[in-house]
A and B are shown apart, each in its own frame.
Chain A
C-alpha cells in the first residue's frame, strides 16, 4: 500500500525568510491557520499522553487476572463491576473494563505504530543518506532494493513475514519495520540528492570535513521536513495495518489485545446488541488515525513550498 507522497519526496529547500519571523514561528503560524489541524494536533497529544500514562489513567488493570472475572462479562456502560468500580464504557467478553482495555490497547497500538515508524525511520535515514552521498554502484543497488520492495503492497509483505514468523508483538513490530524503511530511504535520498548539489555542501567538502560530519550535521537537518511528513503518515498507516493484520488473525496474540484486536474481538458481538464492545474501540482507532493523518496532511501543506499558496 502506498502512502500518499505524491509530493513528499520532493525536497523542501530552506527558503529565504520573509519578515522577521524565525522559520519555526512561521511554521507555527502557518500550521495554526487550519483549525482542523490544531484540533487534531491536540487530539494527538492527548492520545499520546493517555498511552504513555496508561497505568495511571486506566481505572483498572485489565491484565490482572485476580481482579478480572467473567462474572462481569458484557456489562453495559455505567454498570457496576464485582470490584465495586463503575465500567464507564461497559465490559468486554472476558469481563475486562472496556475503558481500561482500550487505554492499554491504545498503548500497544501506538507503541507499535510509533515504535516501528521510529526504527524504520532510523534505518531509512542511514540507508538513504548513504545512497545519496555515496552515489554510483552503492546507490543503484540500494535503490533497486528499495524500488523492488515498494512495488509490493505493505500488507502483502507483512503477511508473508507474519506467516513465516508467527504471531506476537515483537514479530508484528518487526514486520512493520521491514515494511516501512524503504519509504524513508527513498524520501531521504531524494531530498539529499537535491541538497548535495547545493553550495553549502560543496563548501563543506572543500573544507575537508569528514563524510560522517557532513552527512549528520549538514545533510540530515535539511531533509528533516519531508521526513516528518512521511513519518506522521506512516505512523497512522502502521497503526491501521496492525489492526488489519490482527483482524485477519495473523497479527497480535489476543490475550493482551491492541485496539485492532479489540475491534476484531468486538466484531464477534456485532449482532449481540452489546454494541459498545466493537463500537468504542473502533471509534478510538478512528480518532487516532484520522487525527494523526490530519496533522500529517497539514504538515505537508505547510512544509512543502511547492503547494503553498
Chain B
C-alpha cells in the first residue's frame, strides 16, 4: 500500500509539473453550467459569468462590486434628469474582424428588449428605456422618469455583432439560441473566443489576439469542466485534473487549507441569507401553540416578537459551526463596501434573556410553535442553517420544526403555494444577491409593499408593508445624486429592518475557490467564476 501511495504521489507530482509546463492553458472545474451561449436567453449567474468573457458590455462591475469599470463605453454621464450619454470605445473589433460601433449596441439592445422565448428575459434592464444613436461612438439612453441606476443596468446587456448571419426567421432579429450554441453567432468583442461547447461536459475558450479593453488575458486557452457533484469537484482538483474549482464546500475548507496541493481564496458576496416571517395573515398556517394546535392569532405580526426571534439566533454559532467560519454575520441587506448601506446598523447580538423580556412584553411569554421551511440545494449549507435556527428557537421557548425541500419544489410553494397564490409558509429561509450592487434591489423586492402592478415587493414572501418605507424608497429610486440616494436607501433600510424587523438577516455568504499552488483566484463579490480572474502568482 505504501509503495502504491508513493507511486500515486509521484504521479500527482508529475501531473503538476506537466501542468506547469503548459501553464498557458487553464482547466477550471465549475459547478454550474450555462444553459445557453445566447447572451439574452437566460438571465442566470453561470450564463452571465461565462458569456461576459466572450461578449463585451458597455460597463462592468469591478471584481469586488465596489465600483464600475469602463468596457465598451469609455465614459458615461447623465446629461439631464432623464438622459444618459455613453461614449463608446474606438477601434474595437469583433472576433470576426468587423468593427464595433453604436449600431451594434443598438442592435443588441433591441434584441434584448424584444426577446421572445427564453427563460427570463433581460427586459428587466431595458424596460422603459429608448436608445438614440448620436454618432458612431455616442449613444443616448432616455427614460421617462429620472433613473439613477442606468450604468448599473448596462452591466447586464452584452453586445453582439449586428453583422452576424443566423438561421433567420423574424423573431429575435433572425438569431436563434442554437446559432449561439453551435458557435456561428457567438461573435463578441470580449477577450476570449468561443471554441466548443460539449453540453454536460466542457466548454473551451481561446484567447482573442485582437482584444482591446481593460480586461486581462492570463491564458491562451481555458477549458471549463462542469462538475456538479461537490466531492467530485474537490476530487478533480486533488487528482490534478483541473487547476481550479469554484464553490468549494465549507465542509472541505478545513482539510484543504492544510493540504499543500491546494491554495484557497475567498471573498464575501453580495448575497444575504435571511428569514422572512408571515406578517399578513391573522391565522398563519405554520404558527401553532406549543403542542402543535393551530392558533387564531399570529404572533409574527408583532414587531417585538420578530425582534425577539432575531435575538434568539446565535449568529456567531451559525458562522463558526454551520458555515465553518466562512460567512460574515449580517445586520442588513449588503455587506460593507456596498452602496446604500446604513452605517448605524449592526448584526443583532445573541441575547436570550432580552428575547424573553420582549416576548413577555408582547404577550407571548409562554412561547408558541413554528415550522421553518427552507431549500436544501440552493444556498451554501441551507438545510443546516434551518436546522441550527430551529435548534436555537427550540432551546429558547419556541419549539420549531424543520422542513426542507429541493429548490424546484420550494420556491413555487414559498412564493405562491397558498390560497390565491399567496405564500404558503409562515417562516422561511431565503437568500438574496443584489444584482444592482446596492441596496435598492433587495429593498424593492423583499421589503416594499407587495404590489404587482408597480413591480414592487415581487419576492416579499412575508408581505412586510410600511408606507413610510415605501415612500423613502420611491424617492431614492428617482434620485440621481449618489450621495443623497445613498442616505435615502440607508434610511429605508433602517425602517424596514431596524424598526420593523421586516426580515431577519443572518449572514452574508462567502464564496471560496481553490487552486493548485502557484495560482491564485481573485475572488469576486458577484459569486461569478471568471477565468480571467485566475492568475499565476
Contact = CB atoms under 8 A, between A and B. Distances in A.
Contacts of A77: none
Interface in B200-253: 230-231, 234-235, 238, 249, 251-252
Contact of A71 (B231, B317, B400, B402): B317
Contacts of A274: 251
A65 B402 contact: yes
A202 B322 CA distance: 70
Q: Most chain-A Cβ atoms within 10 A of its Cβ — which of B252, B321, B376?
A: B321
A267 interface: yes
B399 A66 contact: yes
A198 B213 CA distance: 90
Interface string A32-76: 000000000000000000000000000000000110111101100
Interface string A72-104: 011000000000000000000111000000000
Nearest to A64: B394
Contacts of B252: 271-272
Q: Most chain-A Cβ atoms within 10 A of its Cβ — which of B235, B391, B394?
A: B391
Q: Most chain-A Cβ atoms within 10 A of its Cβ — which of B388, B399, B409?
A: B388
A249 interface: yes
A133 B385 CA distance: 58
Contacts of A73: 321-322
Contacts of B322: 70, 73
B256 interface: yes
A255 B406 CA distance: 12
A70 B317 contact: yes
A167 interface: yes
B215 to A, nearest CB: 33
Contact of A167 (B230, B317, B405): B405
Given A267-B231, A271-B231, A65 B400 contact: yes
B272 to A, nearest CB: 20
Contact of B251 (A65, A69, A269): A269
Contact of B406 (A70, A167, A273): A167
Contact of A271 (B238, B317, B403): B238
Interface string B387-402: 1101100110001101
Interface string A237-255: 0000000000001000111
Contacts of B255: 271-273
Interface in A154-187: 166-167
A93 B251 contact: yes
B506 to A, nearest CB: 13
A145 interface: no
A102 B406 CA distance: 23
A29 interface: no
Interface string A274-305: 10000000000000000000000000000000
Contacts of A138: none
A169 to B, nearest CB: 13
A26 B388 CA distance: 57
A66 B395 contact: yes
B39 to A, nearest CB: 31
Contacts of A205: none
A20 B402 CA distance: 61
A160 to B, nearest CB: 16
Q: Most chain-A Cβ atoms within 10 A of its Cβ — which of B231, B256, B403?
A: B231
A268 interface: yes
B403 A253 contact: yes
B404 interface: yes
A84 to B, nearest CB: 16
B93 interface: no
Contact of A268 (B249, B321, B399, B404): B249
B377 interface: yes
B254 interface: yes
B330 interface: no
A295 B391 CA distance: 42
Contacts of A70: 317-318, 321-322, 384, 387-388, 391
Contacts of B334: none
B459 to A, nearest CB: 23
B513 to A, nearest CB: 15
A1 interface: no
A270 B235 CA distance: 10
Contacts of B321: 70-71, 73, 95
Given A94-B387, A167-B405, A249 B254 contact: no
Contacts of A267: 231
B54 interface: no
B383 interface: yes
Q: Most chain-B Cβ atoms within 10 A of its Cβ — which of A66, A166, A271?
A: A271
Contacts of B234: 271
Given A70-B318, A71-B321, A268-B231, A255 B251 contact: no
Interface in B431-470: none
A218 to B, nearest CB: 50
A97 to B, nearest CB: 14
A175 B101 CA distance: 60
Nearest to B318: A70
Contacts of A255: 383, 387, 402-404
A166 B409 contact: yes
A268 B384 CA distance: 13
A258 to B, nearest CB: 15
A268 B383 CA distance: 13
A70 B409 CA distance: 26
Interface in B27-62: none
Contacts of A65: 387, 390-391, 394, 399-400, 402
Contact of B254 (A253, A254, A272): A272
Contact of B384 (A93, A253, A273): A93
Interface in B368-387: 376-377, 383-384, 387
Contact of B256 (A66, A93, A249, A271): A271
Contact of A273 (B254, B383, B388, B390): B254
B516 to A, nearest CB: 16
A24 B317 CA distance: 60
Given A70-B321, A253-B405, A268 B388 contact: no
A99 B384 CA distance: 19
B235 A271 contact: yes
Interface in B309-341: 317-318, 321-322
Interface of A: 65-66, 68-71, 73-74, 93-95, 166-167, 249, 253-255, 267-274
Given A65-B402, A254-B376, A255-B403, 9 more contacts: A68-B391, A70-B321, A73-B322, A254-B404, A255-B383, A255-B404, A268-B230, A272-B251, A272-B255
The 3 closest A-B pairs by CB, nearest first: A70-B321, A65-B394, A273-B255
22 contacts: A65-B387, A65-B391, A65-B399, A66-B391, A66-B394, A68-B387, A70-B317, A70-B321, A70-B388, A73-B322, A94-B384, A94-B387, A94-B388, A167-B406, A249-B406, A254-B404, A255-B404, A267-B231, A269-B251, A271-B231, A271-B234, A272-B252
